[in-house]
Structure 1
């Protein structure tokens, strides 16, 4: 069975985060010290699995849950990694044989139920539900990771919402800036550690995101183009990877941002300057009610259909700055 790890405060006035294992509606606090997700996974792996339900003395409902990935960890992202999202973006899969990689500022990581303030200058705030992979250990340079090796390198999975200011990201070509404002990375509510057999089921995980009760995104992780083992292999040849680092693996169709029709796309590409193209994009997008507004509430979940692997539910309220 999966093991559910939570990071929490015992009260609103507490300043010391604790780690625990969730058993149903109760938490078994872990008698250990780990300031970061990396420290927890690198130095206390056996303790995470050895504690049992008899130690679950705390009520989950009475605790304030924090993001299970701490803000010191790298926040690495994959873009256009789902076929349906490629199509709704007006692109073709065959034109993107490469893995699109970028980063978000780790300071944007926030709790799964924390309200997110839409910056005053942002009008096109979008959502992206994503499966988050959390590294179990450091990955040496130029490591080849096979699909059957995931349990060795990855600790578990969590829910990520890659909130994005499209009016910054797209016209300015600023992925990092448009996706890194504080609060733009809800993570959690928990980190779900998987066994060897459960790692084989990651393609069965179903991602669902709704806004104000309206289902917007609904897809299985099997649709992923560049899959975890290949991505870990490529990243290890590019940069250092450390225990506790987070990789967000891309989003499926259903985002607020949509490409115009093929005829319009042809005209924009061949007969318009970039300035004109983006001016028209902003004008048309301003009337799109799917973009997030203060007062909106997002619900995001990831689980297998039999609920054997269940990453919980994020509930994110969008508020005014």
Structure 2
């Protein structure tokens, strides 16, 4: 299933995108798309039956060819935590001159950095090095602690989504302390458009990831380049923290970020447009504006 949330900020309603491209209203069945829903196998089965039965009402304005007029919010409400993996692609490590890490590099993003996939992204005041990062986001659907195998790890995954892990490199690297200062600025985690359930993604290590800036292709990678694959990332994290339904893991970015390019590096500026896409998971578009 392709689950999403439609409506103005703070008033999104749950929806489903059917095979014809029509938005279907889920608000008569569930209050929201969140961790509680993802952890409820019976409720998820009811959604599947309703979707397959063709009885779900069409969302007003959500017919085929009309849906673009509706705001798409983040596909997940009430996110618990966002755990991020740094330097998790072989080609990205090479372009930045970094050594391949022996264990996953872990940092956190606050849930309030999340915005919809087409919402405006704000360049922070004082920023000179705002950067882009297309990432495969993993959404947890089952409580995971001390997992013992990759099979258990993948069984804990409810689905996948597109994320743009927007980063301010000077804040992240040049200002001392941890990476968090460059990762937690307002609007720095566009998510969506859809939460695609795990049954529609048979191999998370076989997805193409692309990102364009002002129409120019900047990132063109594959999740097969991940140093630590999705199953290992989930298993590994569960040794250090409990993962709960509704938690999100950003699993790293492939080569092609501004930081890895020759001088003058083309960091993002007011008026730039970033488009982000992962095979089967949908496409984002953000306009950059100064905060």
Q: TM-score normalized by structure 2?
A: 0.89
TM superposition outliers: structure 1 runs of 4+ over 6 Å = none
**Unpaired stretches in structure 2, ≥5 consecutive residues:** none
Deviations 1:274-314 (A, max 9, x none): xxxxxxxxxxx6x42x10001000011000xxxxxx11110
SS of the equivalent of 2:224 reads: helix
Deviations 1:149-201 (CA, angstroms, capped at 9, x unpaired): 45521111100100000010011243111100110000001101131xx5442
2:215 equivalent to 1:230: no
1:127-142 alignment, distance < 5 Å? 127-139=132-144, 141-142=145-146
Deviation for aligned residue 1:235: 1.1
Aligned length: 278
Show the counterpart of 1:28.
24
Q: Partner of 1:264 in structure 2?
A: none
State yes or no: 1:294 paired with 2:270.
yes
- Contact kept, 8 Å, 1:22 with 1:56, in 2: the verdict is no
Pick from 167, 172, 175 the counterpart of residue 169 of structure 1: 172
TM-score norm. by structure 1 comes to: 0.81
* 1:1-321 equivalent positions in 2, closer than 5 A: 3-9=1-7, 12=8, 16-23=11-18, 24-30=20-26, 31-35=28-32, 37-43=34-40, 44-52=43-51, 53-58=54-59, 59=62, 60-93=67-100, 96-139=101-144, 141-146=145-150, 148-149=151-152, 151-173=154-176, 174-195=178-199, 198-258=200-260, 287-288=264-265, 290-303=266-279, 310-321=280-291
Bigger Rg over Cα? 1
Q: Any stretches of 5+ residues in structure 1 without a counterpart?
A: 261-284, 304-309
Q: Structure 2 vs 1, CA of residues 312 and 255 (structure 1 numbering), >3 Å: closer, same or farther?
A: same
Q: Deviations over 1:90-142 (max 9, x none)?
A: 1232xx21111110111100000000111121110000000000011111x31
Contact 1:151 1:199 in 2 (8 A): no
Q: Distance in 2 between matches of 1:145 and 1:48?
A: 29
Q: CA RMSD for the aligned pairs?
A: 1.9
The structure with more helix, counted as a fraction of residues? 1
1:233-270: per-residue Cα shift (whole Å, max 9, x none)? 1111101110011000000110000288xxxxxxxxxx
Alignment CA distance shift 1:145-1:244 (3 Å):
farther
